[in-house]
């Protein structure tokens, strides 16, 4: 198979499922000495899991054992080693294969002859599959073919034989026209193997463009009739050469002209003949029922090869996923997104984070001009002292050329022409990362951002597929309501991740669909004055700072703390309309040491709370029954002992909240013992440890307890 084929984990996993095999042994075929002096293959069995990625790349040629431990199998394998010159002709061979069974998949063998696979969507019993193989052998013999019966899989003797995996340079699957097909085209043929018209369309070239257009039109009508039209774009993508004709596609995807045609058996057979470029011996029957097969399900065996997650920036961006960057207007989302684009393209760190996979970036900005984007990118490059190694590029579109990707009606949504052109651009310019800023600007029509169904459709059906299109990611800016994501409680700065998530404007399905949410919080005067002003000597004020919060991650534990960023000023030499040199000032973000100040204060606070909690243990012990008491009971007893409890100006609820927080904070520590054991809570002189316990089977405050247990270090 052509090395130009894109190969990703999704393709590999699909191929592994099609050729399902044993995981405990592999047939290794020597690359250095492929054949022995007697002409036989130099192969041997190893106790290891087959690696399809290495096989396809040519790094390690392998064979697999398809007979599964439960004596089922997902294929039949036939080996044609002795052929006449006429039979060796690929056009002749694939025609004979089609006439025997169009569901068979012919493949070149290492010797230059052929293998033929009968593939099952679900595993079948060995004896049943062996009977199918015997029947196929009879049909091929009737056409004058000689087969290597010793290599046939399976046989009724139940002996588990191996076959050499296809997909390397010598072993290519063929279309009904005798041409090699790509991995994706082969997978399409397998998925739709009960639909001969779709099998034939895989790999269809543009030898006669008018004829190809009409064939595709008939395919669209066929898909519509059989409830399969959702797969139309995938089938177009798997033609032998790109169909770069937006006007023609618009007739189908937008004007829906194909719905006028009721495609029956006559039309299907006529176009199979045109596409295959020969006349089949028998007409195919067209199945009139819709989706009459059960869904394919995959069994988890525990023997599967586990693939590492495709991180782009750990904790922030994952391939084939959506990352949201949310914040109030003016907080700096665009500054952040531009710096992100620079890092993704040029490979420099982004605020201390490594970029693990660089690529071409596209910024679609509906609120900034092209010139504004250019000077922001230039400012980021200058500030970061990034050198362009010409490996990857940043592409832009500003507000002058705004596009709409999805058009909503009252009942439905459709891709716009701009969307389809964007998909073509992603392929042409090899775009890996798309930054949409802001998210909401790229739809039109009867859209309501507070409508969960429409928001979910917008994101899941249209935006996330763009990330899948070129094995990249989508990053989208989005506005928030003016909620504060941080608070000050008992002179401690706290991040509220739930508030950060809920602050995103519009329907909740947006943050549900995003795999990552990065929230930006402006610094307030109160926070600045109370926590940081005394430690800052460079003359900056609260307006120079913004906080970055990891509000959500589906794949790792988010950071507890806020990361404070500072807007640094960068000056650029630019030119006015008269081409006179002038200086422009721009802001860029850099990391700060404000986090250290916060953490140091919090650490001191935690130490103070722990000492305070220890001083109250003698009272807490008296409240315990069976070595525990509710936190509420302890608060009720301890609150009146606070110095300001008698002060009428101080609310009793405020005092109780403070006591509760001091107890939770002070009793949530860890104690390391000499024997290497780590115990919860704090160690007390009475030989017990005291800690906070939560019982989630109970409701409200009654689920929080103070518990004690024997301190084994004593």
The pLDDT tens digits for 55-103 are: 988 889 999 999 988 889 999 999 998 899 999 999 999 999 999 999 9
CB 556 within 8 A of CB 597: no
Give me Rg for the CA atoms of the chain: 33
Question: Both tokens of residue 58?
Answer: 């040519």
**CA–CA–CA angle 290, 468, 327 (5° rounding):** 120
Whether residue 374 is predicted with pLDDT greater than 90 in this model: the reply is: yes
Report pLDDT for 4: 37
The strand pairing partners of 586, in sequence order, are 570
Percent of the chain with pLDDT strictly greater than 90? 43
Q: What is the pLDDT at residue 3?
A: 35
Max CA-CA distance within the chain? 106
Residue from 503, 522, 506 nearest 332 by CA? 522
Neighbours of 278 (CB within 10 A): 16
Strand partners, 694: 704
pLDDT category at 676 given cuts 50, 70, 90 is very low
Q: How far is CA 461 from CA 75, 238, 349, 405, 466, in A?
A: 34, 20, 32, 11, 9
Confidence category of residue 305, pLDDT binned at 50, 70, 90? confident
Architecture field, domain 319-566? 3-Layer(aba) Sandwich (3.40)
Mean pLDDT of the region 602-628: 85
pLDDT score for 295 = 62
Provide the pairing of β-strand 486-489 with 492-495.
Answer: antiparallel
For residue range 229-279, list pLDDT tens digits in order: 888 888 888 887 777 788 888 888 888 888 887 788 888 888 888 888 889
> Please, where are the H alpha helices in 226-257?
232-237, 246-253
Instruction: For residues 633 and 649, give the distance between their C-alpha atoms in angstroms, rounded to a whole number.
Output: 24
Kind and range of the H or E run holding 82: none
For 628, the 3-state DSSP assignment is strand
What percent of the chain is predicted at pLDDT more than 70? 91
Return left, alpha or beta for 647; rule: phi > 0 is left, psi -120 to 50 is alpha, else beta. Answer: beta
SS3 630: strand
Segments in 431-508 forming alpha helices (H): 452-456, 464-469, 497-502
Which of 198-207, 284-293, 695-704 has the least mean pLDDT? Answer: 284-293
Could you tell me the residue ranges of all domains in the chain? 62-276, 319-566, 605-710
Most confident of 231-235, 343-347, 592-596, 700-704: 343-347
Query: Tokens 């904070």 label which residue?
Result: 665
Whose structure tokens read 């960023």?
565
CA-CA-CA-CA torsion sign (333, 337, 338, 342): positive
Alpha-carbon span 245 to 701, nearest angstrom? 64
pLDDT tens digit sequence for 159-180: 678 998 988 777 889 999 999 9
Contact 61, 168 (CB under 8 A): yes
The H or E element spanning position 612 is helix 594-615
Q: Which residues fall within 8 angstroms of residue 599, CB to CB, at 6 or more apart?
A: 561
Lowest mean pLDDT among 49-58, 70-79, 300-309: 300-309
pTM, full prediction: 0.57
Q: What is the mean pLDDT of the chain?
A: 86
Mean pLDDT, to the nearest integer, of 23-34?
Answer: 90
The pLDDT of 346-363, averaged and rounded, is 94
Give pLDDT, residue 28.
93
Determine contact, residues 196/102, Cβ cutoff 8 Å. yes
Whether the per-residue pLDDT at 576 is higher than 50: the answer is yes
Residue 492 has pLDDT above 70, yes or no: no
Task: Check the CA dihedral 334-338-344-347 and report its sign.
Answer: negative
Mean pLDDT across 118-122:
92
First and final C-alpha spacing in the chain: 69
Structure tokens at 176: 């009904």
Check residue 561 and give its pLDDT. Answer: 79
CA 703-708-710 angle, to 5 degrees, is 150
Winning range, highest mean pLDDT, from 408-412, 525-529, 691-695: 525-529
Name the token pair of 689: 């440890």
Q: Tell me which range, 131-135, 285-289, 561-565, is most confidently predicted by mean pLDDT.
A: 131-135
Q: What is the structure's pLDDT at 529?
A: 87
Report the alpha-carbon distance of residue 30 to residue 26 in Å, rounded.
Answer: 13
Cis peptide bond upstream of 154, omega within 30: yes
What CA–CA distance (Å, rounded) separates 441 from 75?
49
Predicted pLDDT of residue 565:
93
At residue 713, the pLDDT reads 55
What is the DSSP pairing of strand 322-327 with strand 473-479? parallel
Q: How far apart are CA 200 and CA 98, in angstroms?
A: 10
41's tokens? 């293959």
424-469 pLDDT, tens digit each: 999 999 999 999 999 999 999 988 888 888 899 899 999 999 998 7
Residues 6+ positions from 291 with CB-CB distance below 8 Å: 226, 227, 228
Q: What is the 3-state secondary structure (H, E, C) of 395-431?
A: EEECHHHCCCCEEECCCCEEECHHHHHHHHHHHHCCE
Backbone angles phi, psi at 478, to 5 degrees: -150, 145
pLDDT band for position 357 (cuts 50, 70, 90): very high
SS3 track for 24-60: CCEEEECCCCCECCCCCECEEEECCCCCHHHHHHCCC
Q: Where are the alpha helices (DSSP H) in 226-276?
A: 232-237, 246-253, 265-276
Gap between the Cα atoms of 29 and 111, Å rounded:
14
pLDDT at 7: 61
- What pLDDT is recorded for position 2? 37
């Amino acid at each position: 198979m052509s090395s130009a084929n894109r190969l990703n984990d999704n393709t590999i996993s699909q191929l592994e499922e099609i050729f399902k095999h044993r995981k405990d042994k592999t047939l290794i075929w020597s690359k250095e000495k492929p054949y022995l002096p007697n002409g036989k293959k130099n192969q041997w069995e190893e106790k290891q899991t087959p690696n399809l990625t290495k096989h396809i790349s040519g790094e390690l040629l392998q064979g697999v054992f398809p007979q599964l431990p439960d004596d089922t199998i997902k294929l039949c394998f036939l080996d044609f080693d002795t052929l006449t010159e006429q039979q060796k002709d690929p056009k002749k061979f694939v025609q004979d294969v089609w006439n025997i069974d169009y569901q068979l998949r012919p493949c070149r063998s290492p010797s230059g002859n052929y293998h033929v696979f009968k593939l099952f969507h679900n595993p079948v019993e060995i004896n049943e599959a062996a009977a199918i193989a015997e029947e196929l052998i009879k049909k091929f013999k009737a056409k004058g073919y000689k087969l290597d019966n010793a290599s046939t899989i399976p046989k009724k003797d139940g002996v588990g034989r191996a076959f050499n995996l296809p997909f390397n340079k010598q072993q290519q699957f063929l279309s009904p026209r005798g041409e090699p097909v790509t991995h994706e085209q082969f997978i399409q043929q397998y998925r739709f193997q009960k639909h001969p018209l779709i099998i034939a369309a895989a790999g269809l070239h543009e030898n006669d463009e008018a004829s190809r257009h009409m064939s595709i039109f008939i395919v669209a009508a066929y898909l519509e009739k059989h409830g399969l039209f959702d797969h139309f774009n995938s089938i177009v993508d798997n033609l032998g050469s790109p169909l770069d004709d937006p006007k023609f596609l618009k007739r189908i995807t937008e004007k829906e002209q194909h719905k006028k045609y009721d495609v029956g058996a006559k039309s299907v057979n006529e176009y199979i003949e045109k596409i295959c470029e020969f006349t089949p011996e028998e007409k195919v029957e067209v199945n009139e029922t819709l989706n009459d097969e059960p869904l394919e399900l995959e069994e988890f065996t525990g023997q599967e090869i586990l693939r590492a997650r495709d991180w782009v920036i750990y904790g922030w961006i994952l391939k084939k996923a959506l990352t949201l960057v949310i914040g109030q207007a003016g907080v700096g989302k665009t500054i952040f997104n531009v710096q992100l684009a620079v890092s993704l393209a040029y490979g420099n760190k982004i605020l201390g984070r490594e970029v693990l996979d660089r690529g071409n970036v596209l910024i679609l900005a509906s609120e900034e001009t092209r010139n504004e984007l250019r000077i922001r990118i230039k400012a980021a490059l200058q500030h970061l002292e990034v050198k362009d190694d010409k490996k990857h590029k940043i592409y832009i579109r500003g507000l002058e050329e705004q596009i709409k990707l999805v058009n909503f009606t009252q009942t439905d949504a459709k891709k716009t022409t701009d969307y389809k052109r964007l998909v073509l651009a992603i392929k042409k310019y090899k775009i890996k990362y798309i930054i949409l800023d802001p998210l909401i600007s790229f739809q039109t029509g009867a859209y309501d951002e507070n409508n969960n169904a429409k928001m979910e459709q917008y994101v899941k059906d249209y935006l996330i597929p763009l990330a899948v299109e070129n094995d990249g990611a989508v990053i989208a800016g989005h506005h928030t309501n003016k909620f504060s994501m941080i608070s000050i409680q008992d002179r401690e700065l706290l991040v509220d991740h739930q508030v950060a998530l809920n602050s995103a404007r519009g329907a909740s399905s947006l943050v549900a669909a995003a795999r990552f949410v990065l929230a930006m919080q402006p610094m307030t005067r109160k926070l600045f004055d109370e926590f940081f002003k005394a430690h800052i000597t460079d003359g900056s004020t609260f307006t120079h700072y913004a906080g970055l919060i990891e509000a959500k991650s589906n794949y790792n534990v988010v950071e507890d703390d806020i990361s404070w960023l500072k807007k640094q000023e960068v000056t650029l030499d630019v030119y006015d309309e008269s081409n006179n040199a002038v200086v422009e000032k721009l802001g860029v973000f850099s990391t700060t040491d404000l986090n250290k100040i916060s953490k140091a204060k919090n650490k001191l606070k935690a130490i103070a709370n722990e000492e305070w909690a220890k001083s109250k243990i003698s009272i807490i012990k008296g409240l315990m029954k069976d070595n525990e008491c509710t936190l509420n009971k302890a608060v009720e007893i301890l609150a009146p002992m606070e110095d300001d409890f008698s002060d009428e100006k101080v609310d009793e609820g405020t005092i109780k909240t403070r006591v509760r927080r001091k107890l939770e904070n002070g009793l949530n520590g860890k104690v390391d013992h000499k024997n290497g054991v780590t115990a919860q809570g704090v160690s007390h002189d009475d030989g017990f440890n005291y800690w906070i316990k939560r019982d989630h089977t109970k409701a409200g405050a009654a689920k929080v307890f103070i518990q004690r247990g024997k301190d084994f270090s004593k």
